[in-house]
Amino acid sequence: MRYVYADNAATTPVSKKVVEAMLPYMTEHYGNPSSLYGIGQTAARAVDKARQQVAAALGADAKEIFFTSGGSEADNWAIKGAAALGAKKGKKHLITSKFEHHAVLHTMAALEKDGFKVTYLDVYENGIVRVEDVEKAITDETCLVSIMYANNEIGTVQPIAEIGKLCHDKGVLFHTDAVQAVGHLKIDVKEQNIDMLSLSGHKFHAVKGTGALYCRKGLRLPNLIEGGAQEAGRRAGTENVPGIVGLGVAITEMNEHLEENYNKVKSLRDRLFEGASKISHSRINGDKEKRLPGNFSMCFEGVEGESLLLMLDMKGVSASSGSACTSGSLDPSHVLLSIGLKHEVAHGSLRLSLNENNTEEDVDYILEVLPPIIERLRDMSPLWEHILENEKNN
Ligand SMILES: *Cc1c(COP(=O)(O)O)cnc(C)c1O
């Protein structure tokens, strides 16, 4: 049986180049970057180089890159840090969207408990935040706007440069969770007026537990971890040298092939959309064009997402119904609800996230196994019977 990995938004395999670059930093170059002797300094130079690589990929300066344990940590640091800076000036209002990753939403909820006010912007049916809504929501009390670059479930890409410009003009800090975008879309933090940006290595072929926060020069966030002088004293703890080296190599590799990968992956994804749209009572979630090249997200009425995933798994296809964090619970994903889907429709959702390792054969295999699975599930579903009944009567 064929095996197709189509869940690259959840995580990606570590590339060979990344593994090869990392290995020496676990064996011969095992020194602590804070040590002054040879192997320590070799490690320190490797961390410096990776910092430059990450900075170059974002149009930032190396001094503006702070390594973290991943996207969640970077999100927490940016938001809690900006909130603390705001509170000092009596500004205790934050703006975000309804369909952010939980690393952002739960951080916002924690701040609400601490007396901050948070505005959750609508993302409408197309899954895109409106710049005029951001503008209307900003008040004299606003200390931060945090809007994700691209959504992890439905892949929609937000008007980041426009929001950045608006925030810049209004003197409000702007953070973006760019975990799904880095390595897949062209990003320039200066041109796009981004003050803080979160990224995660394992979403683009580096290892899990690696990531970074870009924090614009002149913006002094409170320290995240007290201790040694690592990360300019702001996030103490001996660096994950192999992981950081891998992150630098992975982001460079992705950025060198940005356009080529974009075109390849988008054409595979469009082939998937075209084929799957032939299934009756199906719909694409979110804007068809303004989305990540590899993101496929559709709902199939009368189908239960969890069963769909299990049956796809039995056919060798790894997919997702929403985010990894929400599957496992019976509530439909907050993302699908935020674009106005009814509970029962949102339950029948399928996310396939492709990347440059996928092939046309993968796509054709998915299109071969998917329709009969949906047909079988619908045959067994009382909900589907109900849908057909209703149609007959109308
Ligand atoms: C995966 C993801 C995160 C979390 O990143 P980790 O490195 O797994 O902590 C945050 N935001 C988005 C949009 C993601 O897709």
325 is catalytic: yes
Q: In the predicted model, is pLDDT for residue 324 greater than 70?
A: no
Q: Is the CB of 246 under 6 A from ligand 1?
A: no
Mean of pLDDT values over 358-379: 98
Q: Return the ligand 1 atom nearest residue 103 CA.
A: 10
Q: The whole model's pTM is what?
A: 0.96
Amino acid 288: pLDDT: 95
- Asked if residue 356 has its Cβ within 6 Å of ligand 1, the reply is no
Among 173, 302, 207, which residue's Cα sits nearest to residue 11? Answer: 207
Nearest CA to ligand 1 atom 6: 71
CA dihedral (300, 302, 306, 307) positive or negative = negative
pLDDT-based confidence at 207, cuts 50/70/90? Answer: very high
- How many angstroms is it from 200 CA to the middle of ligand 1? 6
Our answer on whether the CB atom of 200 is closer than 6 Å to any ligand 1 atom is: yes
Share of the chain above pLDDT 90, in %: 92
CA of 307 to the centre of ligand 1 (A): 25
Does the beta carbon of 70 lie inside 6 Å of ligand 1? Answer: yes
Give the pair of three-digit tokens for residue 227.
């201790």
Q: Is the pLDDT of residue 374 over 60?
A: yes
The pLDDT tens digits for 254-313 are 999 999 999 999 999 999 999 999 999 999 999 999 999 999 999 999 998 999 999 999
Sheet containing strand 295-300, strands side by side: 282-284, 295-300, 349-353
The residue to mutate among 8, 148, 177, having the most atoms of ligand 1 within 8 angstroms of its beta carbon, is 177
Measure 287 CA to ligand 1 centroid, in angstroms. Answer: 22
Question: What pLDDT sits at residue 127?
Answer: 98
192 Cβ below 6 A of ligand 1 = no
Q: Alpha-carbon torsion 23, 50, 184, 326, what sign?
A: positive
DSSP 43-54: HHHHHHHHHHHH
Task: Identify each DSSP E strand in 11-156 by its residue range.
Answer: 65-68, 93-97, 117-121, 142-146
Q: What is the mean pLDDT of residues 116-140?
A: 98
CB-CB contact of 97 with 147 (8 Å):
yes
Q: Could you tell me what percentage of the chain is helix, strand and coil, using 3-state DSSP and rounding each to the nearest 5?
A: 45, 15, 40
The Cα 243–Cα 241 span in angstroms is: 5
Please give the order of strands across the beta sheet that includes 211-215.
65-68, 211-215, 196-200, 173-177, 142-146, 93-97, 117-121
The string of pLDDT tens digits covering residues 327-366 is 445 678 899 999 998 888 888 899 999 999 999 999 999 9
The verdict on the CB of residue 71 being under 6 Å from ligand 1 is: yes
Residue 230 corresponds to which amino acid? Q
